[in-house]
Amino acid sequence: MDNDLWVFVAILLALTATVLPTIAFFHRCRACGSLAHGFKSDKLANFRTGEAFFVCRRCGDRTVKGKVESDGSVAWLSGGTGHFDESGHYTGDAGGVFGDGGADGGGGGGGDGGA
C-alpha cells in the first residue's frame, strides 16, 4: 500500500516537473525572455483605455492580458477574472490562472453572465 502512495507522488512530481517549465515557456516575457514572467508578473490597469496589463518584474515590459471595466473588474484573456482598485492596484483574483498569491480568495467572482 505504501508503495502505491510513493508511485502516486512520483507521478505527481514528474507531471509538475514537465508542466511547469512548459507553462513558463509559453508565458515567458516576450521582451527579456524571463521565464518567471507568467508566475510573478505584476498587474496593472489602465482605466482610460480599458486595458489590463501584466508587467514584467525584470524589464518592465507590459503585455495586454485583459479588459478592465470602469468599476475595476477585469476579465483576463487567459480566462480568469479579478479586480483593480481605483488607483489601478490589483486587489485579487477571482479564479485567475496566474494568481501570484496576493489574492485573498474571498469575494467570489460574481455571476459571469454565462455564455
Q: Interface with Zn ion by CB under 5 A: which residues?
A: 29, 31-32, 34, 56, 58-59, 61
CB of 57 to Zn ion, least distance (A): 8
Query: What cell does 72 get?
Result: 475595476
C-alpha span between 59 and 80 (Å, rounded): 25
Closer residue to Zn ion, CB minimum distance, 13 or 59: 59
CB of 50 to Zn ion, least distance (A): 23
Name the residue among 54, 88, 48, 92 with its Cα closest to residue 72.
88
Closer residue to Zn ion, CB minimum distance, 62 or 67: 62
CB of 40 to Zn ion, least distance (A): 11
Which one-letter amino acid corresponds to residue 77?
A: L
Closer residue to Zn ion, CB minimum distance, 42 or 51: 42
Query: What cell does 91 get?
Result: 486587489
Please say whether the beta carbons of 100 and 108 come within 8 A.
no
Query: What cell does 87 get?
Result: 488607483
CB of 48 to Zn ion, least distance (A): 24
Please say whether the beta carbons of 98 and 84 come within 8 A.
no
Closer residue to Zn ion, CB minimum distance, 34 or 94: 34
